[in-house]
Amino acid sequence: MDSLQLMLDGFRLVSAPVNLLCCFIGVVIGTLIGVLPGIGPVATMAILLPFTFSLTPVAAIIMLAGIYYGAQYGGSTTSILVNIPGEVGSIITCLDGYQMGRQGRAGSALGISAIGSFVGGTLGVIGLAVLCPPLAQVALNFGPPELFALILFGLMMVSSLGGDSLPKALLMTAVGLFVSLIGKETFTGFNRFTFNSITLSDGLGLVPVSMGMFGISEILSNVEMAAKQKVIKTDIKSLFAWREWIACRWAVLRGTVVGFFIGILPGAGAVMTTFFAYWLEKRVSKHPEKFGTGVIEGVASPETANNSATAGSMIPLLALGVPATPTMAMLMGALIIQGVQPGPLFITQYPDLFWGVIASMYLGNVMLLILNLPLIGIWVRILKIPYALLFPLITLFCIVGVYSLNSNVYEIVIMIIFGLFGYILRKFKYPLTTFLLGMVLGPMMETSFRQSLGIGRGNLAIFFQRRFSGVLLCLVGIVLLVSLVLSLRRQKRKFVEELT
């Protein structure tokens, strides 16, 4: 009964005109970003983060969360019409979605994508509301050793799944952790790695670094790869293919369950979630040989999964204070900037914010369903905007956004430096996501580590004397060992293929 009352309070909070407007702006921008190839939700949230500082914490998080799950909706449009995933979670949709478009069934594919996304997102939010509070109660028993072990486990999971090369992923995690050390030391106040710079004494800010690494580097990469694509024309009237929708109802439900529970795992990400949902659907299908030729279940299951995963990925952030994905790391950074610390005490200390975000996700999914079906024609026209016009505007937003933080020109320089750094890393296929997670979690990891040493009087055995932290550290070792073995096997297989 208390949860129902809190949910009603959340809806009452979201119904405020400012919060409703922020929710609407978030889902519209998210859908647009999902439609535009090459600009992901992480880069968008980084670019728009400075513009949320004047908002209340509730309005700011509602808008940023709307961008996140709105991008999952929009990414399917380009996958189906252009055969280019607008968002990484829509990569697998290209297989059957584009083939359906070529067969004149693009309307059916776009329709089931919107319906599946709505069902997956809605059921995922219900799962978030049910599972997050009890998990947070369990996490209240965590001490610094447990928190340190949990953060280390999350970083290891993300690194092991963060790219084709485990050494590269681990290196980027280490670089992110090092960058988080720049500035004043937490316990003594001494400056570290600042070179007597006033700007660096406050540390490298999340906003200029993330806008550079994900915004500027994304722009440079996409300008380099800009190319014209053929857009499939589709009849909007064919969107309502009721018989096909009913036929794949079980695919939608399976995609919801798979997406939600895999989304909870640190490092799983939208790509793994959608690939697993597609693989499962193909395995249970009576005609698996037809997948890849324009099967509607091949669109319904992954599109449902990537939207239910957005709700699942918020559980470890809000209940444990550990982001499962780079987007959640960006959302965590926004919460911290607003003076809100995610973690076990989040729900009890900020119940209005927690239930307001959940209520906004319900309303946001309804808005997205209403918006996406009639506005598909507009999104298709937006696809024709030349990159030469689009990316200068994004660059301008980045510069204005960073400068508006502290009116500090040096932060623009930091953004440009990390933009070039990120561009070079992309060229050599180093994962940027593990860097961001390392940078966001670094201060919390350092604090919990030093507090643990204080509890154990300098003895590292404290981490193994506590049951939960000991189990997690053993799992870290197992994950590292398994990842190294798999990485060596991949390298060996690649070497044999090159010889033959």
Q: How far apart (Å, rounded) are the C-alpha atoms in residues 172 and 162?
A: 10
Tokens of 121: 């997102």
Phi, then psi, of 493 in degrees rounded to 5: -65, -40
Q: Quick one: average pLDDT of 289-305?
A: 83
> Which tens digit of pLDDT belongs to each residue from 394-449?
788 778 777 876 778 888 899 899 989 989 988 888 888 788 778 877 888 888 88
What's the confidence (pLDDT) of residue 387?
A: 64
- Cβ-count burial of 4 within 10 angstroms (0-12 exposed, 13-18 middle, 19+ buried)? exposed
Nearest to 317 by CA among 344, 339, 338: 344
Is 472's pLDDT higher than 60?
yes
Write down how long the chain is. 500
Q: How far apart (Å, rounded) are the C-alpha atoms in residues 398 and 395?
A: 5
What's the confidence (pLDDT) of residue 417?
A: 92
Reported for 195-200, long-range contacts at CB under 8 A and 24+ positions apart, including other chains, are: 197/410, 199/408, 199/410, 199/411, 199/414
Average pLDDT, the chain: 78
> Which tens digit of pLDDT belongs to each residue from 226-255?
544 555 555 555 555 667 667 787 888 888
Residues 6+ apart with CB under 8 A from 202: 183, 184
With beta carbons less than 8 A apart as the criterion, state whether 447 and 337 touch. Answer: no
Is 384's pLDDT higher than 50?
yes
Phi, then psi, of 283 in degrees rounded to 5: -70, -40
Residue 378 has a CB neighbour count (10 Å cut-off) of: 11
Q: How far apart (Å, rounded) are the C-alpha atoms in residues 83 and 372?
A: 18
Q: How far apart (Å, rounded) are the C-alpha atoms in residues 88 and 274?
A: 10
Is 109's pLDDT higher than 50?
yes
Q: How many helices (H) and strands (E) are present in the chain, helices listed first?
A: 25, 2
- Cβ-count burial of 115 within 10 angstroms (0-12 exposed, 13-18 middle, 19+ buried)? buried
Q: Which of 105-114, 246-255, 352-361 has the lowest mean pLDDT?
A: 105-114
Q: Quick one: average pLDDT of 197-211?
A: 81
Q: How far apart (Å, rounded) are the C-alpha atoms in residues 467 and 77?
A: 48
Q: How far apart (Å, rounded) are the C-alpha atoms in residues 208 and 192?
A: 19
Q: How far apart (Å, rounded) are the C-alpha atoms in residues 389 and 442?
A: 38
Nearest to 271 by CA among 72, 489, 29, 490: 72
Q: Quick one: average pLDDT of 178-194?
A: 84
Q: Which residues sit opposite 192 in a β-bridge? A: 183
pLDDT band at 267 (very low <50, low <70, confident <90, very high): low
What's the confidence (pLDDT) of residue 39?
A: 64
The residue type at 149: A
With beta carbons less than 8 A apart as the criterion, state whether 419 and 212 touch. Answer: yes
Q: Which of 48-57, 116-125, 378-387, 448-457 has the lowest mean pLDDT?
A: 378-387
What's the confidence (pLDDT) of residue 299?
A: 85
Q: How far apart (Å, rounded) are the C-alpha atoms in residues 363 and 371?
A: 12
The residue type at 391: F
The residue type at 365: N
DSSP 23-49: HHHHHHHHHHHHHSTT--HHHHHHHHG
Query: How many Cα atoms are found within 13 Å in the side-chain-facing hemisphere of 382?
Result: 18
What's the confidence (pLDDT) of residue 1?
A: 44
Whole-structure pTM value: 0.69
pLDDT band at 203 (very low <50, low <70, confident <90, very high): confident
Q: Which of 4-8, 268-272, 296-300, 400-404 has the lowest mean pLDDT?
A: 268-272
pLDDT band at 112 (very low <50, low <70, confident <90, very high): confident
Percent of residues, the chain, with pLDDT higher than 90: 1
